[in-house]
Amino acid sequence: MKMLVGLTGKTGSGKTTAAQIFTRLGAFVIDCDEIAHKALFDKDVIKKLLSVFPESICENGEIVRSELGRIVFSNSEKLQILNSIVHPWINSETLKLCESSHADIVIIDGSELEASGIDKECKHIIVMESPESLRLERITMRDSISADDAQRRINAQKDYSKKAIVITNDSTQSELEKKIEEVYKKLSAEL
What is the rounded CA–CA span in Å between residue 146 and residue 137? 10
Q: How many helices (H) and strands (E) does the chain have?
A: 9, 7
**Mean pLDDT of all residues in 53-66:** 82
Q: Are the C-beta atoms of 93 and 36 separated by less than 8 Å?
A: no
Per residue, the 3-state secondary structure of 120-161, as one string, reads HHCCEEEEEECCHHHHHHHHHHHHCCCHHHHHHHHHHCCCCC
Average pLDDT score over the chain: 89
pLDDT bin (cut points 50, 70, 90) of residue 140 is confident
Question: Does residue 151 carry a pLDDT above 90?
Answer: no
Residue 177 belongs to a domain with what CATH number?
3.40.50.300
**The pLDDT of residue 55:** 67
Q: Are the C-beta atoms of 110 and 6 separated by less than 8 Å?
A: yes
**The pLDDT of residue 35:** 95
**Mean pLDDT of all residues in 25-54:** 92
What is the rounded CA–CA span in Å between residue 85 and residue 52? 10
pLDDT bin (cut points 50, 70, 90) of residue 21 is very high
pLDDT bin (cut points 50, 70, 90) of residue 156 is confident
Q: Which domain covers residue 169, as residue numbers?
A: 3-189
**C-alpha separations of 37 from 30, 45, 65, 112 in Å:** 13, 11, 8, 14
What is the rounded CA–CA span in Å between residue 143 and residue 191? 37
What is the rounded CA–CA span in Å between residue 182 and residue 150? 31
Of the candidates 73, 93, 65, the one whose C-alpha atom is nearest the C-alpha of residue 11 is 73
Global pTM reads: 0.81
**C-alpha separations of 47 from 32, 33, 58 in Å:** 21, 20, 10
Number of structural domains the chain divides into: 1
